[in-house]
Amino acid sequence: MFAMQLVGPGAPLVAIERPDPVPGPGQIRVRVSACGVCRTDLHLVDGELPAPKSGVIPGHEIVGRVDAIGHDVEGLPIGLRVGVPWLGSTCGACPYCAADRENLCDRPSFTGYTRDGGYATVVIADARYVFPLGEQGDDAAVAPLLCAGLIGWRALTAAGDRRRIGLYGFGAAAHLVAQVAASQGREVHAFTRPGDVATQRFARSLGAVWAGGSDERPAEPLDAAILFAPVGSLVPTALAAVRKGGRVVCAGIHMSDVPSFPYRLLWGERELVSVANLTRRDGREFLAIAPRIGLVTKTTRYPLRDANRALEDLRAGRFDGAAVLVP
């Protein structure tokens, strides 16, 4: 197998060759056809996530086909197209798993973080945590659904049934969530980097009724806001933009420190919440909804060997939508 491996925080990924891994009991091996580049991967490479697996191979928005099966695996035949998401496994026994909140499991594993991921030609996955994908849709277009889409869906669900939604940071997740929210009859307000006219135009093309810089205020108070940008200073900005009883949802795995802010921004029964990881239920729900609404994924494709360039382009905001690595 060929892969791009993390050797240390802040260092570029390095290309490696090693024998194809063999799946153990309950595992499958997936021949990777596409892997999305997520901002979480950038946090991992920059050393902002604690205790990754030593020498881990990043990537958790994986589309491919089953090409080897371990013992005790049923229903996932050779050749089946599957998706491998961020949630790699859970313990199934802790209070969170028992309460159907496996996203908060005390002893989880995460693809591309605590177990090797999809910046590779093959990946080993726990068979219980992959999603059969069917044959609809191009592999590279489907890959971002496995995290950007799933976390976006979980964040939108956390916002409740509120109608006027603000999306702060209009990247891979927001460009998918905007389409879902618009299909539900909600008003989408997109907040981008100040002065980023091209991305604002892109947001409007996907159903946003308004798009502007994150330093601007909406004409009317929002019912809810979702923060995809990992910028802590946007928390008080978003709280100031939502009405009384509104909710601000922080959707990233990492964020810079949130500055102090006056209590009046929270007062009025405004709520500040976060979402973490995903559940398999999230995956089943979202992957069923996506084709029904004709979800369109904007992708920029890179050869797998160019993973470092894809990460730098993500950091600099050089593309709209999502980056996808193709072996």
CATH number at 269 reads 3.40.50.720
User: Is residue 113 helix, strand or coil?
Assistant: coil
Instruction: Please tell me whether residues 285 and 142 are part of one structural domain.
Output: yes
Is residue 270 within 8 Å of 242, Cβ to Cβ? yes
pLDDT confidence of residue 192:
97
Residue 99's CATH number: 3.90.180.10
Give the DSSP per-residue string, 133-161: --S-S-HHHHGGGGTHHHHHHHHHHHTTT
pLDDT confidence of residue 196:
96
pLDDT confidence of residue 191:
98
Is residue 72 within 8 Å of 86, Cβ to Cβ? no
DSSP H or E segment with residue 290: helix 280-292
Of 274, 298, 315, which closes a domain? 274
DSSP H or E segment with residue 98: helix 95-98
d(CA 222, CA 168): 12
Is residue 38 within 8 Å of 61, Cβ to Cβ? yes
Instruction: Please tell me whether residues 130 and 190 are part of one structural domain.
Output: no
Instruction: Please tell me whether residues 91 and 121 are part of one structural domain.
Output: yes
pLDDT digits (tens, 9 = 90+) for 81-123: 999 999 999 999 999 999 999 999 999 999 999 999 999 999 9
pLDDT digits (tens, 9 = 90+) for 279-291: 999 999 999 999 9
Instruction: Please tell me whether residues 139 and 247 are part of one structural domain.
Output: no
**Identity of the residue numbered 170:** F
Instruction: Please tell me whether residues 139 and 161 are part of one structural domain.
Output: no
Average pLDDT on 68-81 reads 97
DSSP H or E segment with residue 42: helix 39-45
Please give the tally of structural domains in the chain. Answer: 2
Instruction: Please tell me whether residues 155 and 270 are part of one structural domain.
Output: yes
Instruction: Please tell me whether residues 98 and 68 are part of one structural domain.
Output: yes
Instruction: Please tell me whether residues 136 and 190 are part of one structural domain.
Output: no
pLDDT confidence of residue 41:
98
pLDDT band at 72 (very low <50, low <70, confident <90, very high): very high
d(CA 94, CA 104): 9
Instruction: Please tell me whether residues 138 and 252 are part of one structural domain.
Output: no
Domain extent for 111:
2-147+278-326
Average pLDDT on 159-187 reads 98
How far CA 267 is from CA of 173, 188, 201, 222, in Å, comes to: 29, 24, 34, 15
pLDDT digits (tens, 9 = 90+) for 164-173: 999 999 999 9
pLDDT confidence of residue 179:
98
Could you tell me the pTM of the whole model?
Answer: 0.95
pLDDT confidence of residue 210:
97
Instruction: Please tell me whether residues 121 and 26 are part of one structural domain.
Output: yes
Of the chain, the percentage scoring pLDDT greater than 90 comes to: 100
Q: CB 73: neighbour CB atoms within 10 A?
A: 18
Instruction: Please tell me whether residues 13 and 137 are part of one structural domain.
Output: yes
Instruction: Please tell me whether residues 8 and 101 are part of one structural domain.
Output: yes
**Cα atoms in the 13 Å half-sphere on the side-chain side of 148:** 37
d(CA 242, CA 244): 7
User: Is residue 27 helix, strand or coil?
Assistant: strand
Average pLDDT on 62-77 reads 97
Task: Work out the mean pLDDT of the chain and round it to a whole number.
Answer: 97
